[in-house]
Amino acid sequence: MRHNTRRHSDIRLQKTRGQRGPSGQIRHVRRGVRRFFAGRRIRRGDDKVKAVNGYRLSHSFPSGAWEREMITHHGFSQGGFALTVRTRFAPSPTGYLHVGGARTALFNWLFAKRHKGKFILRIEDTDAARSTEESIQAILDGMEWLGLTWDEGPFFQSKMFDAYRAHAKKLLDAGLAYRCYCAPEELEARREAALKEGRPPKYDGRCRARTDAPDKPYAVRFKTPGGGATSFADVIKGHISFENSAMEDLVILRSDSTPTYNFCVVVDDATMGITHVVRGDDHINNTPKQILIYRALGYELPVFAHLPMILGSDKTRLSKRHGATSVMAYKEMGYLPHSLVNYLARLGWSHGDQEIFSIEELVEKFSFENVGASSGVFNPEKLLWLNHPDIKEMREEAIAPLLLPFLKEKGIDAGGDARLLAIIKTLKERAKTLRELSDAAEFYFAGKVSYDPKAAEKFLTKEALPLFEGLIAGLSGLSEFTEAKVEEVFNAILNANGLKLGKLAQPVRVALTGGTVSPGIFEMIAAMGKERAVARLHDAAAYMKKG
RNA sequence: GGUCCUAUCGUCUAGAGGCCCAGGACGUGGCCCUCUCAAGGCUAAAACCCGGGUUCGAAUCCCGGUAGGACCGCCA
């Protein structure tokens, strides 16, 4: 049953368990539950009071608002002492860092930075068969390129098996878990049969009451409570509740005694002191299981924030079909890390009408309150649009080292070229990516210009020959080869012949670049340098005479 | 099939019961500027999933549909 929770805005948080803060110390802050509930369609049960992440929601707050930040910053105040926010990114090393993972990492990072907390990197490599060294490196590279530096780690789950086993033993000893001797093949057969008959494919718990201990390999299963519900207040999605009866007794230790995901996550997040678990909303269904384990282990719950997924253009989960999904692929396409970060931040999060943010602004303004609950489509065109101002506003000195590898791919070694900065200056305003910039720069370095046939036919005509001769003479005579001086030479010729700039600029453009598209004619000539410009004009003049 | 999540222009979003016959941005069309191409400026087309309810008043709150997505492993 759904409630109009907005009307019940007299809701407060009370501490019900844990040691983090005395009850009754909740400040009133203006931006409270109204928005939280308004946009989130929070559901609440019929009962007036619900336990939520160790707090209770109840209808008694006199000020009529609820401290939203209390959930967001859960664990903040402890008798006046600030506890630091600790977030983590926990990828499994089975491939490269993709944009979805990068966004999850970014939001974790942003939240930690925003609250001067710690951001932790943890590699979830319990599946030895699928985890690879290359993947680990690829993820690290991607994070580093994006500037998502971590304060602790990387930690590897594969090195912490003892801790998981110890925790499992604790549950076993407490009677909160049990040994399951069912063979995997047997379970698989039962699952298929259940699916076939339309029954939920849930483990029937047949080993739960077992008192014998056969000399067979066994898995350890967690005892899920048969009744009741497990609910939590997600900072992004609102109140979420699951019936315990729908959950099965999940395996926490495999028969080879390696731990499983849902168990490791809890043990790690709890022992690493993670205060805010920020991850994709594909984990929502895992959350109640994890909460149950937290409780069984006697650990305090973190705050959960489930980010909506990133979809492809056809609104299905983003995958290679939709184009590049690897973060490093964007580096290779000539994007700047800031653009990707800016784009990813804006995909799901917003701050009024603002589109462009510096990293500092992002850190300053980020809040889960402004993260939308619905999934978003990855739009490469908008990312491209964002990259443009980044390149435009970057100093030539900063662009140069990034551009060199792209030029090198074309066989151009511009490292020692004194003209490089001037060349970049002419190009950067009109390049959306570094790759585009390197493409556009190619003509500057070419040994000989090859003319686009159509352009040559239209512009490199006999009529233009006298103008070229005048230009060659004028440019050759310049002692100072600057943009302004070049322009003076042009103007003199234009005035003497009563022509508009277009009449001269286009033929010259073809002569110098081979095509009809280039930076402004004066800046381009100046950047090219006298020697090369004059030589190309000579070549063009010779071509005109022939043809 | 079960569970959970979600729903405003093609896309990202603003929206906190009246400031909304819905604002911004990308993309698209037009015009201006102009030595080409971009950029820039102006401008146009373009959305509240449907049905009930609450209310003097609903994009907004409630209920029900519908649609999309995710998850249902001894994967993570």
pLDDT of residue A308: 95
Which residue, chain included where needed, has tokens 């590898």? A405
Q: Is the CB of A501 under 7 A from strand B?
A: yes
Give A398's pLDDT tier (boundaries 50, 70, 90).
very high
Q: What is the CA radius of gyration of chain A?
A: 32
Residue A213 CA from chain centroid, whole number: 48
Specify the pLDDT at position A314. Answer: 87
What mean pLDDT comes out for the span A137-141? 95
More confident residue, A323 or A385: A385
Nucleotide B10's nearest residue (CA vs C1') is: A313
Is strand B within 7 Å of residue A130 (CB)? Answer: yes
Give which of A179, A235, A166, A164 is closest to A209, Cα–Cα: A179
Average pLDDT (A357-361) is 96
Helices (H) and strands (E) in chain A, counts: 21, 17
Whose CA is closest to A526, among A423, A415, A445? Answer: A423
Q: Is the pLDDT of residue A243 over 60?
A: yes
Using the predicted structure, report yes or no on whether residue A138 has a pLDDT greater than 80: yes
Q: Which residues pair with A317 in a beta bridge?
A: A311
What percent of chain A lies above the pLDDT cut of 70? Answer: 85
Three-class secondary structure of residue A118 per DSSP: strand
CB A371 within 8 A of CB A307: yes
* Dihedral pair phi/psi, residue A179, rounded to 5°: -85, 135
Question: What's the pLDDT score for residue A189?
Answer: 83
Dist. CA A306–CA A232, nearest whole Å:
11
For A352, counting Cβ atoms within 10 Å of its Cβ (0-12 exposed, 13-18 middle, 19+ buried), the class is: exposed
Which of A's residues 159-198 have CB atoms within 7 A of nucleic strand B? 180, 182-184, 187, 191, 198
A367-372 average pLDDT score: 94
Rounded Cα distance between A166 and A457, Å, is 81
More confident residue, A42 or A125: A125
A373 pLDDT more than 70:
yes
**Maximum Cα–Cα distance across chain A:** 108
Report the amino acid identity of residue A21: G
Average pLDDT, chain A: 83
Regarding predicted confidence, which is higher, A186 or A124?
A124
Whether the beta carbon of A510 falls within 7 A of nucleic chain B: the reply is no
Nearest to A167 by CA among A154, A177, A158, A159: A177
User: Taking residues A496-502, what's their average pLDDT?
Assistant: 88
Inter-residue contact A220 to A168 (CB < 8 Å): yes
Confidence of residue A130 (pLDDT cuts 50, 70, 90): confident
What pLDDT, on a 0 to 100 scale, did the predictor assign at position A82?
A: 55
User: H/E/C letters for each residue in A42-107?
Assistant: CCCCCCCCEEECCEEEECCCCCCCCCHHHHHCCCCEECCEECCCEEEECCCCCCCCEHHHHHHHHH
- CA–C1' A326–B2 (A): 34
**Chain A, 286-345: which CBs lie within 7 Å of strand B?**
286, 308-309, 311, 315-317
Confidence of residue A440 (pLDDT cuts 50, 70, 90): very high
* pLDDT single digits (tens) A443-487: 999 888 899 998 998 899 888 889 999 999 999 998 999 999 999
Nearest Cα to Cα of residue A432 among A399, A498, A386, A476: A386
Phi, psi of A405 (to 5 degrees): -60, -35
Q: Which nucleotide is nearest to A372 (CA to C1')?
A: B13
Q: Are A111 and A276 in contact (CB under 8 A)?
A: yes
User: Higher model confidence: residue A82 or residue A370?
Assistant: A370
Tokens of A120: 């932790």
Is the predicted pLDDT of residue A61 greater than 70, yes or no?
no
In this predicted structure, the answer to whether residue A344 has a pLDDT above a threshold of 50 is: yes
Residue A287 CA, nucleotide B64 C1', distance (Å) = 28
Distance of CA A4 to the CA centre of its chain: 35
CB neighbour class for A171 (10 Å; exposed up to 12, middle 13-18, buried from 19): buried
Which amino acid appears at position A255 of this protein? Answer: S
Give per-residue pLDDT as tens, A171-225.
Answer: 999 999 999 998 888 888 888 877 777 777 888 888 888 888 888 899 999 999 9
Residue A537 pLDDT: 93
Which nucleotides in chain B have some atom under 7 angstroms from a protein Cβ?
1-8, 10-17, 23-27, 34-39, 60-64, 68-76
User: A270 CA to B8 C1', in Å?
Assistant: 40
Q: How far is the first Cα of chain A from the last one, in angstroms, to the nearest whole number? A: 85
Q: Residue A535 has what pLDDT?
A: 93
Distance, angstroms, CA A453 to C1' B17? Answer: 66
Q: Which helix (H) or strand (E) segment is A146 a member of?
A: helix A133-146
pLDDT at A81 (0 to 100): 44
Catalytic residues of A: 320
Length A319 CA → B43 C1' (Å): 38
Look up residue A401 and give its two tokens: 């080292």
Q: What pLDDT band is residue A347 in, cutting at 50, 70 and 90?
A: very high
Q: Which nucleotide is nearest to A238 (CA to C1')?
A: B5
249-288 on A, CB < 7 Å from strand B: 250-251, 254-256, 258, 260-262, 264, 281-286
Please give the Cα distance from A438 to A493 (Å, whole number): 33
Instruction: Give alpha helix (H) positions in A237-334.
Output: 261-271, 287-297, 327-332
Check whether residue A2 has its CB closer than 7 Å to nucleic acid strand B. yes
Residue type at position A371: V
- Please report where in the chains the tokens 């686009």 appear, as a residue: A452
The pLDDT assigned to A205 comes to 84
The amino acid at A419: R
Phi, psi of A486 (to 5 degrees): -60, -40
Residue closest to A100 by CA, chosen among A279, A245, A295: A279
* Phi, psi angles (nearest 5°) of residue A202: -100, 140
Residue A360's nearest CA partner among A340, A338, A334 is A338
pLDDT band at A414 (very low <50, low <70, confident <90, very high): confident
Q: Residue A12: phi, psi to the nearest 5?
A: -135, 165
The alpha carbon of residue A176 and the mean position of all alpha carbons in its chain are separated, in whole angstroms, by 38
* Predicted local confidence at residue A368, as pLDDT: 94
A126 nearest nucleotide via C1' and CA: B76
Q: Which of residues 457-496 of A touch strand B (CB under 7 A)?
A: none
Closest to A221 in 3D by CA, of A181, A268, A271: A181
Fill in the DSSP letter of residue A479.
S
For strands A50-52 and A238-243, give the pairing. Answer: unpaired
pLDDT score for A447: 84
Work out the average pLDDT over A303-324.
89
pTM: 0.85
- In this complex, the nucleotide whose C1' atom is nearest to the CA atom of residue A221 is B74
* Token code pair at residue A240: 């979420």
Long-range CB contacts for residues A162-166, cutoff 8 Å, separation at least 24: A163/A267, A163/A271, A164/A253, A164/A259, A164/A263, A164/A264, A164/A267, A165/A253, A165/A257, A165/A259
Asked if residues A42 and A238 have their Cβ atoms less than 8 Å apart, the reply is yes
How are beta strands A118-123 and A152-156 bridged, if at all?
Answer: parallel
